Every structure is written in structure tokens, then in C-alpha cells.
Amino acid sequence: MGLLITGGCGFIGSNFVRYVLDKHPTHTVINLDKLTYAGNTDNLRDVEEHHKPRYEFVKGDICDKRLVRRLMEHSDMVVHFAAETHVDNSIKSADEFMHTNVFGTYNLLNAAREMKIKRFLYVSTDEVYGSIEEGKFSEDSPVAPNNPYSASKAGADLMCRAYFRTFDLPVIITRSANNLGPYQHPEKLIPKFVINAMLDKPLPLYGDGMHSRDWIYVEDNCAAIDFALQNGDAGEVYNIGGDNEHRNIDITKKILKILNKPESLINHVTDRPGHDRRYALSSSKIKGLGWKPRFKFDDALNNTVNWYKENKWWWEKLRKE
């Protein structure tokens, strides 16, 4: 089985490449990545060494029509991670988010239709639902994004739905909770706070720190995406949550406790515009098919903190002062 994985040098994408090659010894993977600041070939250095010739890396843009069609000639299925993802950057300028997340997805869908791809799985986010005060979002909840990043992802979601309904393209959408784990760029909350704490630098916590998120260990998310690819129904959306809801302030304190650092490092800063207060996902639909998460949050957080402690070589050159 040949997979084209877009954005496979990013955080979740690189973990998924590794997961698939380890889990499915007959699968081959083409990893298409533009290598923006968030794409890093170091994420897959071990894969390059251990999984040739089943693994091929191609540097390129998902907006390149000729390239994606050529790569799909050698692929049975597509798993689409490639995206601009940092909310703060989307608030400063949404141009790249619209170009990559919306037009790039449209370009891939067109190519997949022409090349008769057997399955096209689009990796989306719980942020497309917006914020929820009580209860949990289901797959039937309305899409109501509140920042340019989540709006661009929602636009791609709807384009995937349109290609299934209009052209019968076998599309599956997954919407996952916040991920934590190895190889996440230091701009994101958990790696930034872990690294800052290790360096005795302030931890810039937005607002009152009471924003709440559901969290899932990246390995669990990869297993769920693979499960949906193999067992999900075309045209369906599957939420992927970890049943680990925590407030940002509590996560911050947990990180400091693990590292034996003082809470005086917490620095409350002005909240960002459009900051959703709470995300929470119901994963009953995919659980009903037989998937469930393996990792509890505290175990996942300990694993993550220890990985950053042991891999200074990886993050030191990525960290922004």
C-alpha cells in the first residue's frame, strides 16, 4: 500500500510517518513537505536510516499541481497534514494560511479525483468548532471558527465535504484535540513552557490561564488517524479526543512541578484576540468502531517533558528568543 503523506516533517505528520512504517511493514510512504520553519527533517532522521527503501522524502509545495499529480501516480491513499498552524501567526497575517490550508487542500483534492485515489484523509482540528461553555462537541456540531487559522481549516473541511458530495471522492476527515509529544515546535505552549522552565525563563501565560483544552498524546492521535483510514467510512468526520481536559494554568503548574521549578516563573500576559475559552470533544463515534486512547495525560506529559530534557540538540536551534 502506497501512502502520500503531506506535511510529514511537521510535528504530528512526522510522528505519523514513523507510526505507519513501524505498524505496517508492507506500506510505502512518500513524504511531501515544503520545509517551512515548522518542518524539520531532523524529525525523521531515524526513519531515513531504518526504513529505506520504503520511505521517500520529497521537498515541495502542495500547491504545485504538477508535483502532487506526479506523486499520486505512485500512491493509493493520501493523508493530508500539511498546514500553517500557529494561531498567533494567523492573527498577524492570514495570507499563507489561506494559500496553504485552503488552496493547497483544494489542489490535492483535484489531483486525488483525477488520479482516482482510494482514500483521502484530511487531518483537521477541534478548533473549527469554536468555543463551548458546557458539554462536548460532536461531529454534528456546527462549524464556527473564531480565528483566521481555524477559519482556514474549516474552509478546507468544507471543501473536502464538497468533493465527497459532488464527486464521490472517498474523503475522511479527522478533528483532533490538542496534541502533545516529541518533535513539537518550540512555539507551541507545552514545548515552549518546558524549554523556558529548563532555562529559568518566564512562562508567558495568556490572560488568566483558565482556558481549557482536551489533550491527546501524539502517538494516540496517530493510531486513531491510521484506524480511521483503515476502518472509517467515506464522507464521515471523526473526532479524536484524549478525554484529558485541563486548564492552561494547571498544565503550566504541572510542568513546573515535574522540572522542580518555582511557580514564580509564570508570567501572565495580555490575552490574544479571539482566544477560545474551552474546547472539548466527544470521541464516541470513533470509539464505537473500536479505537480508544492509551495514554493518560500525566503519563503523556511526563514522557513529553523527558523527551525535551533529553533532546536539547533538537530544540536548541529552533528556539526563538
DSSP string over 213-253: EEEEEHHHHHHHHHHHHHHPPTT-EEEE--S-EEEHHHHHH
- 201 contact partners, CB below 8 Å, separation of at least 6: 265
Upstream peptide bond of 53 is cis (omega within 30 degrees of 0): yes
Q: Grid coordinates in use for 199?
A: 532555562
H or E segment and range at residue 57: strand 55-59
Rounded Cα–Cα distance for residues 180 and 188 (Å):
9
Q: Is 263 a catalytic residue?
A: no
DSSP string over 9-27: TSHHHHHHHHHHHHH-TT-
Residue 274: phi, psi to the nearest 5?
65, 25
Q: Is 149 a catalytic residue?
A: yes
Residue 2 identity (one-letter amino acid)? G
Annotated catalytic residue: which of 55, 122, 149, 308? 149
Q: Is 310 a catalytic residue?
A: no
H or E segment and range at residue 162: helix 148-167
Q: Estimate to the nearest angstrom the gap between the alpha carbon of 37 and the chain centroid.
A: 15
Annotated catalytic residue: which of 33, 84, 127, 157? 127
- List alpha helices for 36-122, DSSP H: 45-50, 65-72, 87-92, 95-97, 105-114
Annotated catalytic residue: which of 126, 220, 226, 243? 126
H or E segment and range at residue 4: strand 2-6
Rounded Cα–Cα distance for residues 159 and 173 (Å):
11
Question: Which amino acids are annotated catalytic?
Answer: 126-127, 149
